[in-house]
Amino acid sequence: MAVSAGREFLAIPGPTNMPDEVLQAMHRPALDIYSRQMVELSDSLLSDLSRLFATKGKSYIYIANGHGAWEAVISNVLSRGDKVLVLESGRFALGWGNAAQAMGCEVEVLKGDWRRAVRPDEVEERLRRDKDHSIKAIMVVQVDTASSAYNDIEAIGRAIKAAGHPALFMVDAVASLGCMPFAMDKWGIDVAMSGSQKGLMSPPGLGFVAVGDRARAAHQTAGLRTPYWDWTQRDGPEHYQKYAGTAPVHLLFALRKALDMLFEEGLDNTFTRHRLLAEAVRRAVAVWSEGQVFSFNIADAAERADTVTTVRAAEGHDLFALHRYCKDKCGVVLGVGIGELQNRAFRIAHMGHVNAPMLLGTLGVVEMALAALDIPHRKGGVAAAIGYLAESVPA
């Protein structure tokens, strides 16, 4: 017996649920890539991306996923042998650092912990010890999608300033842009990157980079530049150069619609929606955790992301069965634990095009699965989530 007919719901942190309007926006012929309409579409997207990153700097669009945007950042500002400090809070900053290492940079990891966010005072202390300024760049994620840690980018930016260190501040906002506040210029970020398929509700395949003045200056002497990623090439007079070739026309149609929807909702409203739905998830997880099997991966409540929640399980519980039940019996796909948390956690994504029924439906299915599989938990997680939302969203 199963109750999974109907649209399968992705509760995974990317690709996320795409609005029908976004899907439909792609259902049309391609544009002449030399037309005025095409130029206007690109211009509108590039300026709206800078608005999302909250920077006066320019943005770039790559036909790539997040890994490609990582490489775009590295190749445009760094040289072989440059030292990069990676701030660990899970898996993704390390992944970015691995790419830098493979490209010839020297990488030092500021050891963190999968159960907590980056500590700004530890960053400051490490930078103060770097007296000859051998560290050229600092890599950190705003939200680590594996651990669900939320890093206080503003505080880390202040720590870098307090240390008086000139390293470039590079931030990955793949799992947070368009979901949680981001203020590139105000927070002292030199270069930021993101992707299309998470908070931005669009198909996978577009990577974004926003560039501040100091990153632009570093670009002038960067040794790792290659033609496809190169900002200077993309700044050339022809529209064709903006994509180093043919524009990804349909992905751009989709992104245009998604950004229109975001701005129509109003970014502040979008951020509030994410915060409310995230807190509803946390209320449910807190109740389930009283059964002694589950716990929040991120110990400190203030360091939990509003876009994804990683739930740890005690040893000896079959999370594979939980995933299978949710997917096969109910049509909900949960995120699996990755990296250190493989087979030891599940993740619920709440980023992008998500509303109360999608979220409450997902929580309902998880609670149903816990009961059906006889995994110890306290009942009433969904009721707690509903109670919280009812209080927070007054009539």
Ligand X SMILES: *Cc1c(COP(=O)(O)O)cnc(C)c1O
Peptide bond between residue 394 and the one before it cis (omega within 30 degrees of 0): no
Residues of span 138-177 touching ligand X by CB under 6 A: 141, 145, 172, 174-175
Annotated binding residues for substrate, written as ranges, equal 347
Number of residues that bind ligand X (CB under 6 A): 11
Q: Which of 65, 75, 151, 297 binds ligand X (CB under 6 A)?
A: 65
Smallest gap from Cβ 66 to ligand X, in A, equals: 2
Stretch that binds ligand X, among 65-73, 223-231, 232-240, 294-302 (CB under 6 A): 65-73
d(CA 288, CA 293): 8
* Alpha helix ranges (H) inside the chain: 20-25, 36-53, 66-77, 92-102, 120-129, 153-162, 213-219, 231-234, 249-265, 267-288, 319-324, 330, 356-372, 381-392
In the bound complex, which residue of the shown chain has the CB atom lying closest to ligand X? 66
Considering the rule CB under 6 A, would residue 88 count as an interface residue with ligand X? Answer: no
- Closest CB to ligand X among 93 and 384? 93
Smallest gap from Cβ 65 to ligand X, in A, equals: 3
Smallest gap from Cβ 352 to ligand X, in A, equals: 12
d(CA 178, CA 199): 6
Encoding tokens for residue 330? Answer: 């109910």
- Closest CB to ligand X among 42 and 142? 142
Q: Which of 195, 212, 337, 364 binds ligand X (CB under 6 A)?
A: 195
Smallest gap from Cβ 303 to ligand X, in A, equals: 15
d(CA 59, CA 79): 21
Considering the rule CB under 6 A, would residue 66 count as an interface residue with ligand X? Answer: yes
d(CA 285, CA 294): 8
Q: Which of 53, 92, 182, 243 binds ligand X (CB under 6 A)?
A: 92
Q: Which of 12, 14, 230, 381 binds ligand X (CB under 6 A)?
A: 14
Annotated binding residues, written as ranges, equal 347
How far, CA to CA in Å, does 137 sit from each of 53, 101, 160, 230, 346? 19, 13, 11, 18, 33
